[in-house]
Structure 1
């Protein structure tokens, strides 16, 4: 294509005036040192090729960005440009065959661009915690598990180290247990779940005071027992309510609450797996459980740490290609890479991230699945941008766009910024808002 000044060279190209565009046949790949993006049309004297240097190796799936999508868009455009001769020819076409301008156009627009990062996530019920037999149950140490509450009922003689009884009932895997419902039974006595943050660690009785007393009374009140004041004092009225509660649990009515008489957790729980069977002595690990709502967990590369904070929204794509909106609900502490491991992934520091989905119905019937999580990576406001397929790679390096002027068209070099949403940030001399540019179809 002859430049508007009739010199045969493309106006606005970077470099010395004597450095005309390198002559290449249509479809020929630009040299690796051109720095072109894969699949982007290359402006040469004889047509459009594509740039595909070795430094553009395919990224991992969990590190792909919107640029990968952009590359696919312009691959077909390169062949079309070469075929139509828009970017140049051998001079054999007649004047009537020569195109009068670009096949399609778009305007340079001022906008806000947001890049995204798609990472691997796991749909499930979150981290498992363990319910253990209480202190004094056989040889059990009685240690509670973080987030899982203390272990349940032991023998009446909780400090003797004697056998704590026989497990007579356990819930099925997948069962949801709510406040007041049995976690398990020992010698046919129910061991219920109560909501709170501190396990029962002492005997509570008339005259006891403290936050654990208030937690007990709050639970009794929620379960429908009354006649007492919810505060941090255990009175005779509290003892009377406890006796009613114990009767409903088929337990001895003592009016006292011993350490291990209930399992304490921060809310309803879902049984993941039972570790004992009916007939076993109460000892060690009893069962594992999780939260009751499905959520998404991500081990995020720490380089994307700035992309997440509590309240950040993300788009989650399920295995059936439907998508749901999730919100970051917890950001953990970065892991420490393992120098001894041969596993490459374990040598990379990661940040545990948890996302919740408000509309659980949109998750369908999936109980556990691998999902894609799209996070907002970076946002740039008030930038000039054009469709990505408006870019033309200069065979000598860099990029140009075809600008429509009153006299025809000319090529102007551009500096590239962020790629996002099939758009690319551009800047440079003569690059202004509203300028009309060629966009290959």
Structure 2
């Protein structure tokens, strides 16, 4: 219950981007006047003899709430975009006519056919190094190592070391098994037009740059893909970068009105200017990973809101925010109702405001968990 003071001051301060626990001294003046709907409460030297009884009762409809010991959190709300993590272009190395293409939204797993040229499949394999040369027995290098790792992951290799960067006899035999499974000629050599390496083991098609029957753009971008991992991307004002950390808990508000939990997984270190140079509108990219990806649905590039927990305090006394009384000259108090029905005003120092819970951290002489405090009637 917030009541306007007789003189200036006493209003709740504007919410901060990241609240810090204030100091515990100097919060209440020695002589303060609190106006209630039905009369005046005078608090005289609250630090000398403790809280004093109120001089009158409020005529306004009121109720009671408990002082509790609890955990509170401060949050900030950011606009974001829900989509899929990662993104890369698929460069085609096969010459001929495109005879089969996936559709946007299709998911192709490692070892599956991504598209076809002249009826021949081009296989998706996981790896960060593009297929820039044909691979065969006796060769070595990081591209061979990722081929070995892919063959092991697909279950085609027996006794093959996934960390080996050497194209061995085991690699040869495993590769022929893969070629047979997808319908390629079993040569035991990986030609440039037979596969593409992408950084993800399961690719979701995000863009198709060709149509069936068209000439395959040799060396051109035929498709664009992403991972299937759900992610929310935020563009946060660079001035707030230090207030957000990897691991911060969040609540994601989805387009259908539902919410789902998540956590900050990346905070950018390079700012991007959004307006005129020097305007102060620079932002950094913050990535949030949902804890329950299935709950986010399948929408791509969907607008969402993310509530980030930027600070938490545990085992503190708390009251509903509307239990606060603004004290003339600044500060706050609460009206405590004793078991015998007597009312007294207790000056308090406020700490963290939890807007989601509608509660505020308080401390004050004579204040304890379990006490009743006056709040406006609901």
Shorter-normalised TM range: 0.7 to 0.9
Partner SS for 2:217: coil
Report how far residue 418 of structure 1 moved: 1.3
2:222, 2:181 → 1: CA distance? 23
Among 302, 306, 309, the alignment partner of 1:369 is 302
Which of 50, 63, 86 in structure 2 is aligned with 1:104?
63
- Which residue in the other structure is 2:175 paired with? 242
**1:157-184 Cα shifts (integer Å, max 9, x gaps):** xxxxxxx433333211111111122222
Q: Does the 8 A contact of 1:167 with 1:282 survive in 2?
A: no
Indicate yes or no: 2:128 matched with 1:197. yes
Gaps of 5+ in 2: 20-35, 42-55
For 1:43-79, what per-residue CA distance to the aligned partner results, in whole angstroms no more than 9, with x for missing partners?
A: xxxxxxxxxxxx85xx89xx799xxxxxxxxxxxxxx
Conserved in 2, the CA contact under 8 Å of 1:334 and 1:352? no
- Equivalents in 2 of 1:251, 1:281: separation in Å? 19
Q: Is the 8 A contact 2:260 2:292 kept in 1?
A: no
Determine which structure has greater relative contact order: mean sequence separation of CA pairs < 8 Å that are 6+ residues apart, divided by chain length.
2
Distance change >3 Å, CA 381–CA 198, structure 1 → 2: same
In 2, the alpha carbon distance for the partners of 1:123 and 1:415 equals: 40
Gap change, CA 1:356 and 1:166, over 3 Å in 2: same
Instruction: Say whether 1:186 aligns with 2:186.
Output: no
Counterpart in 2 of 1:174? 105
Structure whose alpha-carbon radius of gyration is higher: 1
Size of the aligned set, in residue pairs, is: 337
Distance in structure 2 (CA, Å) of the matches to 1:409 and 1:248: 82
- Equivalent residue number for residue 383 of structure 1: 316
Using the TM superposition, give the Cα deviation of residue 271 of structure 1 relative to its aligned residue in structure 2, in angstroms. 0.6
Which of 345, 348, 358 aligns to 2:292? It is 358
Aligned match of 2:143: 212
Q: 1:101 touches 1:408 (CA, 8 Å); kept in 2?
A: no
Task: Tell me the distance in 1 between the aligned counterparts of 2:96 and 2:333.
Answer: 81
The offset of 1:381, in angstroms, is 3.0
Name the TM-score, length of structure 1 as normaliser: 0.64
Q: How does 1:25-424 map to 2 (within 5 A)?
A: 33-37=8-12, 82=37, 85=38, 103-133=62-92, 153-154=93-94, 164-226=95-157, 229-230=160-161, 231-259=164-192, 261-265=194-198, 266-278=200-212, 279-283=214-218, 284-302=220-238, 303=240, 305-310=242-247, 312-337=248-273, 340=276, 347-360=281-294, 362-364=295-297, 366-404=299-337, 408-420=342-354, 421-424=357-360
Contact 1:212 1:232 in 2 (8 A): yes
Superposed CA RMSD in Å reads 3.7
More displaced 10-residue stretch of structure 1: 325-334 or 175-184: 325-334
Bigger share in strand: 2
Question: Is contact 1:297–1:355 with CA below 8 Å preserved after alignment?
Answer: no
- Relative to 1, partners in 2 of residues 1:105 and 1:257: Cα closer, same or farther, differing over 3 Å? same
Answer yes or no: is the 8 Å Cα contact 2:318–2:360 preserved in 1.
yes
Provide the rounded CA distance (Å) in 2 between the counterparts of 1:98 and 1:240.
90
1:305 and 1:351 in contact (8 A); partners too: no
Measure the CA separation in 2 of the matches of 1:115 and 1:326: 16
Flag structure 1 segments of 5+ consecutive residues without an equivalent.
1-26, 38-54, 66-80, 89-96, 134-152, 155-163
SS in 1 for 2:307: strand
State the TM-score, normalizing by the size of structure 2. Answer: 0.74
Structure 2 equivalent of residue 438 of structure 1? 374
Structure 1 residue 186: Cα displacement? 2.4
- Asked whether the equivalents of residues 318 and 371 of structure 1 are also in contact (C-alpha less than 8 Å), the reply is yes
- Deviation track 1:378-402 (CA, whole Å, cap 9, x = no partner) reads 1123433222111111344332222
In 2, Cα distance between equivalents of 1:290 and 1:368? 13
Alpha-carbon contact 1:240-1:255 (below 8 Å) kept: yes
